[in-house]
Structure 1
Amino acid sequence: MGVEIRVEGLTKSFGRQTIWQDVSLTLPAGEISVLLGPSGTGKSVFLKSLVGLLKPDRGHIWIGDRDLPYLPERDLYETRKLFGVLFQDGALFGSMNLYDNIAFPLREHTKKGESEVKRIVMEKMELVGLLGAEHKLPGEISGGMKKRAGLARALVLDPEILLVDEPDSGLDPVRTAYLNQLIVDLNAEIGATFLIVTHDINTARTVPDNIGLLFLRELVMFGPREMLLSSEEPVVRQFLNARRAGPIGMSEEKDMSELEAEAKMGMEVGKLPPIAPQLMPSDGRVRPGQAPPGAWCAAHGVTPPPGSFVDDLGRNWVEEWPRYVASMGHSSAAGHGQGGQQPAGGAR
């Protein structure tokens, strides 16, 4: 099971440049969270701070009862063993085949014998669909396979926290969809706490239990997915709609004259798109981080955008959810997160 991460008042600068300041959020144990934001807002810096590769200027990162930025080096080293990290490009060693790449953390950080190493490596390779490719070099495989190999390596120490940096980077939409499903399946299987940094709107709308958005050196919002996907904040609406109109500019922030010019031309950030059904694990189970669709909106008196929670077969999952849960043998109160709809495309 994953562990909760509490971030309190975190600030990071490089010289005179403030990357972000006073960031506070809680990543719930065992849930999938996504961090969005325009390019250059420090999302990858935030991941590196969480794992202790960068030290913040001030603030706290609580992993259980351990405050990561203030740990002695030996305790920091031990705490890092709770983490698995999937880097943007997989970060594989080009001179090692996939088997040795995935085995590397086990050989580096444990005293397991080679028979035990082989058992674990092959188990993780099977989990990410790479059996049969263990003798291939990174230069001989596709970008999607590199991502999966990097994911397998991130999993070999059975992490309680998994950080994923732009899993869609360099992948086409179809491979991204497969990788998204794999992430959801892995969360259901291992119960780790996931944090994904991404620019991919479809990933953000269908995968996580929680979403955050970084902009202008601040965390604009973080919370259950329905909270952000139904928000009327202009920067949220602009980002979700991928529009030029709005506060985000080419160099991050637009000045007042640009915004006034857009207003005169009648340019708008657009209406919020419908809240999409959330991906389910391939076996159809309800993950602990999931809750009935529409639950957050109903509890907070928020009317979701028209067409929300309807899949591509026209099924409304606010209505279908009780029947689905009953058919799967779950308690109707299963989950405590934000989504839990059958993915668009048909019942399992």
Structure 2
Amino acid sequence: MGVEIRVEGLRKSFGRQVIWEDVSFTVPAGQISALLGPSGTGKSVFLKNLIGLLRPDRGHVWVDGQDVPELRERRLYEMRRRFGVLFQDGALFGSMSVFDNVAFPLREHTRLSESKVRAKTLEKMEMVGLSGAEDKFPGEISGGMRKRAGLARALVLDPEIILADEPDSGLDPVRTSYLSQLFVDINHETGATILIVTHDIGTARVLPDNMGLLFRRGLVAFGPREMILTSRDPAVNQFFNARREGPIGMAEEKDLADQSLETYHDPAPAPIPPQIMPSDGRPRRNQTPPGTWLRAHGLQPPPGSFIDAEGRNWQQDWPRLTA
């Protein structure tokens, strides 16, 4: 089962450049969350602060009662065993085979016999669809396969928390879809807490239970998917509708003079798509039925919400479709 991550008042800068400040939110245990934002907003830096690769200027990252920035090296080393991290480019060792890359954390952090290392490594490789690629080297496989190898390595210690940095970058839409399905199935099978950093709107609209937006050196919003996708906040609205009008510009923030020349429209939110379901069709243990957050707040979903390409209405027919 996954564990909760609670971030309080986090601030990070490099010299005079403030990356973000006073970031506070909670990543719910056992759910899939996504953190988005324009390029240059410090999303990858944020993940590195969560696992202690970077230390914030101030603030706290609470994981099961322990404050990560305050941990000494030995305790931090132990804490990191609870995390599995998929880096943006896979971060595979080019001189090692795919098998040895995936097996590396087991050999580094455990005293398992080589036979058990092999069995566990092959299990995770099969989980991500890499059976038969054991003897290949990173330079001999595709970018999508390198991503999956990195994910297998992140899973090999059975972590309670999985962090993924831009897992869909550089992938075509088909591979991105397969990878999104893989995250859903992993959460369904293991119950791990998953936090994905991305700027891909398509992924964010259908994959996570919760999502947040980093912008202007802070966190604009974080909450259930339905809350974010119906938000009227100008930055959230602009980002998730991929519009030019709004506070986000080519250099992250628009000059106030440029904003004043815009005629800003407040379009109705787009229909909310159905969430990706596990491959076996059964809901994940922490997955809520479509429309749950909206009903709790007395709101109606945008017209056309929760209807898939086959015309099935997942809000109306949830019990039947998940039986």
- With structure 2 as the length reference, what TM-score do the two structures score? 0.98
Question: Distance in 2 between the 1:234 and 1:154 partners?
Answer: 36
Per-residue deviation, 1:128? 0.4
Residue 169, structure 1, aligned to residue 166, structure 2:
no
Q: Secondary structure at the match of 2:315?
A: helix
Question: Distance in 2 between the 1:9 and 1:49 partners?
Answer: 13
Per-residue deviation, 1:149? 0.3
User: 1:101 is matched with which residue?
Assistant: 101
Q: Indicate conservation of the 8 Å contact 1:241/1:270, yes or no.
A: no
Indicate how the Cα distance of structure 1 residues 238 and 11 shifts in structure 2: closer, same or farther if over 3 A, else same: same
Q: Secondary structure at the match of 1:240?
A: helix
Per-residue deviation, 1:279? 0.3
Per-residue deviation, 1:270? 4.1
User: 1:80 is matched with which residue?
Assistant: 80
Q: Indicate conservation of the 8 Å contact 1:32/1:289, yes or no.
A: no
Question: Distance in 1 between the 2:77 and 2:232 partners?
Answer: 42
Q: Secondary structure at the match of 2:243?
A: coil
Per-residue deviation, 1:256? 2.2
User: 2:35 is matched with which residue?
Assistant: 35
Instruction: Give the residue type in structure 2 aligned to 1:223.
Output: G
Question: Distance in 2 between the 1:181 and 1:298 partners?
Answer: 27
User: 1:219 is matched with which residue?
Assistant: 219
User: 1:332 is matched with which residue?
Assistant: none
Q: Indicate conservation of the 8 Å contact 2:10/2:21, yes or no.
A: yes
User: 1:153 is matched with which residue?
Assistant: 153
Q: Indicate conservation of the 8 Å contact 2:161/2:192, yes or no.
A: yes
Instruction: Give the residue type in structure 2 aligned to 1:310.
Output: I
Instruction: Give the residue type in structure 2 aligned to 1:203.
Output: T
Question: CA-atom RMSD, angstroms?
Answer: 1.1
Residue 284, structure 1, aligned to residue 284, structure 2:
no
Alignment map for 1:301-340 (pairs within 5 Å)? 301-325=298-322, 327=323
Instruction: Give the residue type in structure 2 aligned to 1:11.
Output: R
Per-residue deviation, 1:269? 6.3
Unaligned runs of 5+ in 1: 328-348
Q: Indicate conservation of the 8 Å contact 1:207/1:278, yes or no.
A: yes
Per-residue deviation, 1:302? 2.2
Give a deviation string over 1:287-317, Cα, whole Å, max 9, x none. Answer: 1221110010111122322211111122221
Question: Distance in 2 between the 1:272 and 1:250 partners?
Answer: 23
- With structure 1 as the length reference, what TM-score do the two structures score? 0.91
User: 1:178 is matched with which residue?
Assistant: 178
Identity %: 69
Give a deviation string over 1:214-238, Cα, whole Å, max 9, x none. Answer: 0001100001110101101111111
Instruction: Give the residue type in structure 2 aligned to 1:164.
Output: A
User: 2:207 is matched with which residue?
Assistant: 207
Question: Distance in 2 between the 1:268 and 1:140 partners?
Answer: 49
Alignment map for 1:254-273 (pairs within 5 Å)? 254-263=254-263, 268=265, 270-273=267-270
Give a deviation string over 1:219-269, Cα, whole Å, max 9, x none. Answer: 000011101011011111111111111110011111222112221xxx646
Q: Secondary structure at the match of 2:287?
A: coil
Give a deviation string over 1:80-111, Cα, whole Å, max 9, x none. Answer: 11000001110001111100111111111111
Q: Secondary structure at the match of 1:112?
A: coil
Q: Secondary structure at the match of 2:300?
A: coil
Q: Indicate conservation of the 8 Å contact 1:180/1:207, yes or no.
A: yes
Q: Secondary structure at the match of 2:226?
A: helix
Instruction: Give the residue type in structure 2 aligned to 1:320.
Output: D
Q: In the comparison of the two structures, how many residue pairs are matched? A: 323
User: 2:272 is matched with which residue?
Assistant: 275
Question: Distance in 1 between the 2:116 and 2:228 partners?
Answer: 44
Per-residue deviation, 1:116? 0.6
Give a deviation string over 1:186-227, Cα, whole Å, max 9, x none. Answer: 111111100000111111000100000000011000011101
Per-residue deviation, 1:271? 3.5
Q: Secondary structure at the match of 2:293?
A: helix
User: 1:144 is matched with which residue?
Assistant: 144
Q: Which of residues 279, 292, 314 in structure 2 aligns to 1:295?
A: 292
Instruction: Give the residue type in structure 2 aligned to 1:317.
Output: W
Q: Indicate conservation of the 8 Å contact 2:232/2:266, yes or no.
A: no
Residue 18, structure 1, aligned to residue 18, structure 2:
yes
User: 1:335 is matched with which residue?
Assistant: none
